[in-house]
Amino acid sequence: MAQPPVEAVALPAEVAPFVEAGSIPIALEKADLDRDGRADWLLVLEYARPRIDPANRFEEEGPRALLLLRRGADGRLVMAARNDRVVYCRGCGGMMGDPFQGVEAAAGRFTVTNAGGSRYRWSRAFTFAWSRSDAAWQLVRVEDGSLDIHDPRQREKRSVRRPPKDYGKIDFKAYVPEQ
């Protein structure tokens, strides 16, 4: 089922150069992501070009990327990190439609939330925090939720996993939710 076109968010002039050709900015959050006293940005891009999956012969929505734009000592933004997997595509939510629920940013951390399904509803939130010793954002929490909406006796199931205990140490750049 085709999704309606996504609307681009307004961007400050300093963020606009990071919007790549063939992409649309769909979310933007500002926070001191590395706790250095300077404002950084999280930018979510959706790529307009659909891909064809030859095995299943269906057209899937364009991929999405989350860019971490870090402000240097000179005041300029640079792309510090990128992940093309944590923000799910518009068609990845099943009957519920676009699964991307948003990104929240705070000092030294940010969370990406996706949710979808039909009868069986699911949600997944990934939280990353700045590690000063590793100079990187690392996965610190994954919260999964599930619910069968046709079973009135069932309550929503929640599970929380906390790296590195549950997964090992994983940098934002390298995180693949499916693994």
* pLDDT tens track for 108-117: 999 999 999 8
Q: What is the mean pLDDT of residues 158-172?
A: 88
Mean pLDDT over each residue of the chain, to the nearest integer: 88
Name every residue whose Cβ is closer than 8 Å to that of residue 31 and which is 6 or more positions away in sequence.
39, 40, 42, 105, 106, 107, 110
Which is more confident, 178 or 133?
133
pLDDT of residue 2: 52
Q: Does the model's pTM come out above 0.85? A: yes
pLDDT of residue 57: 45
